[in-house]
Amino acid sequence: MSSEDIVEKPGEPEINPNQGQSQQWGTKVGVILAVAGSAVGLGNFLRFPGQAAANGGGAFMVPYFIALLLVGIPIGWAEWTMGRYGGKRGFHSAPFILGAVGKSRVFRYIGVLGVLIPMAVSFYYTYIEAWCLDYAIMYMTGELDLSAAGGIPEQTEMASKIFSDTVGLKTNGIHAGGNLRTFVLWAIVFAINITLVYRGISGGIEKFCQLAMPTMAVCAVIVLLRVLTLGTPDPSFPDQNVMGGLGFMWNPNFHALANPQTWIAAAGQIFFSLSVGFGVIINYASYMKKDSDVVLSGVTAAATNEVFEVSFGGMITLTSAFVFLGATQATLVAGSTFGLGFNTFPIVFAQMGGLGKIIGAVWFFMLFLAAITSSISMYQPSLAFFEEALGKGRAAGTAILVVFCLIGSFMTMYFSKGLVFLDTVDSWVGTLGIYVLAMIQLCVFSYIFGVNRGIDEAHEGAHIRIPGFYKPVLAFVSPAFLVILFGVFSVSNLPKWVENVGNEPAAQYAIGLVAACIVALCGMVYVGEQRLERRGIGLLGIDEPGPSSDSGPAGLDD
């Protein structure tokens, strides 16, 4: 069947599975910057350095790069390929793409995860984005100045209080804890996000990322230059200098390589950093042209993310924390993303003197850009799904998206005490869900679609070829890596999470919200199936390949 064969029935809107068919990336670099923008987030600057310093310093880079080659890049290729394949068949959302690739209705329902994850993460991510903007504004207006607070202990206390007030850490409620201002900023940030997404792939997301990514790089370079020229700010602590800070981050401890935890941490960092298993790449890639390259694009997006993570995140964050606060404090804060970003860095900037305010503003503006390029990528998959499932057009899809996000974000902001609600959604959806979706996607690609066929599909229009050794990697190594990672992760975290849900009402509300979203999304998949069926669009979408090319056995023998 081809798209021309489809006949529109009276009273029904457009015939394509969705209106997104008319949407496409404007340039080759556009999609790469958008995917890289989605991947580059707070974790690149705040999580990676802590993971590296705690797991062998420079030696951490050995398992890190191995994980990049064996997990990150191949899973990325699988997602790019499946996304473009789905796009060719008129699908743009994970449920319908996975249904087409997996050739089963079951995968449409499992694919709901590819909508749930980015949407649920956006509930709290936009809120964090508002914190970044709030801090940037506070630095620009001179409102945030810890230098008057006295010594480091007093500054630490003040920084904690500002953070607590900003996020409403102590009490629940929008007005409680002084976080009304954060709520207003969230509303602004949310409106910006929705506007960008509504403007479309090329007119909104691509244009914004083309502007935001270079701006983010310029901001990172400014902060990096300042950090590298700090010297030894306090002569009474001669060992707290830039070289010491870099040594703290990069001196290798080879004993760490014998510890399995180091390898798990490295694979986990790569996995979360590249936004694989998130439902974003598969959606973004579906808007590529039929003959667009996905192999080189996948590597380029990953490389862009790595430039931000390794050369900026690895040089700025812990180095400056070490120089001003010493090894002990740097070690303590290294494991805490929020602690490092919002409690420690204001103290670091206060120690920099007058220039600290400017650097602080640049730093938090950069984090804001990193966050917003990620958050727009979280809204787009849901919007594509609502359009595809309901067929009511972009405006209606956006309205449904706004309703979902208002409920989710409002609950996140209301139940701000101890950030229990946020942490619960992050743990169950933003962490566990990603593992599950990545495993499912990889299995669908490698065992149902077939590795050979998948690589052939990836090679269509490719500027570089996937090396031959990636066939066994995609079939065995990457899935095994993911299963081990998932197993270790589950054993060490799930009992604690389950206990937390049992004890904390806010955590129960979070789980309830996630469950309600799953039910609603599955319902929409059903509605979408009925709608597509009425139009004669099957599981494989438009332009279904003939039996000879589609019914071959999956797997390596394909």
Smallest separation, CB 239 to other proteins (Å) = 4
Binding mask 434-463 for other proteins (x = CB under 8 A): -----------------------------x
* Residue 155 in tokens: 């500054």
Q: How far is the CB of 251 from other proteins (least distance, A)?
A: 4
* Contact mark string toward other proteins, 7..46, x via CB under 8 A: ---------------------xx--x--------------
Pick one of 173, 178, 233, 247: the residue that binds other proteins (CB under 8 A): 247
With respect to other proteins, which residue has the nearer C-beta, 65 or 447? 65
CB of residue 468 to other proteins, shortest distance in Å: 19
Residues 114, 381: Cα–Cα separation, whole Å: 8
CA distances from 543 to 88, 385, 531, 537 (A): 8, 20, 18, 10
Tell me how many degrees the CA angle 144-149-151 measures, rounded to the nearest 5: 125
Residue 467 in contact with other proteins, rule: CB under 8 A = no
Rounded to 5°, the CA angle 57-63-69 comes to 135
Return the structure tokens found at 279: 């439902």
DSSP 245-300: HHHHHHS--GGGGGSHHHHHHHHHHHHHHTTTTSSSHHHHHTTS-TT--SHHHHHH
Smallest CA-to-CA distance from 93 within 78, 108, 72, 74 is with: 108
**Gap between the terminal Cα atoms of the chain:** 24
How many angstroms separate the CA atoms of 75 and 53, rounded? Answer: 26
Q: Least CB distance from residue 491 to other proteins, whole Å?
A: 26
Q: For residues 257-316, which are near other proteins according to CB under 8 A?
A: 293, 296-297, 299-300, 303-304, 306-307, 309-311, 314-315
Asked whether position 221 contacts other proteins by CB under 8 A, the answer is no
Mark residues 129-158: x for contact with other proteins by CB under 8 A, - for none. ----------------------xxx-----
**Exactly one of 160, 329, 336, 508 binds other proteins (CB under 8 A); which one?**
329
Contacts (CB under 8 A) with other proteins, residues 43-102: 57-59, 61, 65
Return the ∠ at Cα 293 (arms to 287 and 294), rounded to 5°: 75
Nearer residue to other proteins within complex by CB, 98 or 318: 318
- Please enumerate in sequence order all residues whose Cβ is within 8 A of that of 303, keeping only pairs 6 or more positions apart, or say none: none
> Quick one: which segment of 211-219, 327-335, 397-405, 447-455 binds other proteins (CB under 8 A)?
327-335
Minimum separation from the CB atom of position 378 to other proteins (A): 24
Q: Residue 307 CB, nearest distance to other proteins (Å)?
A: 5
Cα–Cα dist 146/150, whole Å: 8
The span from the CA of 200 to the CA of 301, in Å, is: 20
Helix, strand or coil for residue 431? helix
Which residue in the set 250, 342, 428, 497 belongs to the binding site for other proteins (CB under 8 A)?
Answer: 250
Using CB under 8 A, list all residues that contact other proteins.
Answer: 28-29, 32, 57-59, 61, 65, 151-153, 236-239, 243-252, 293, 296-297, 299-300, 303-304, 306-307, 309-311, 314-315, 322, 325-329, 331-332, 463-464
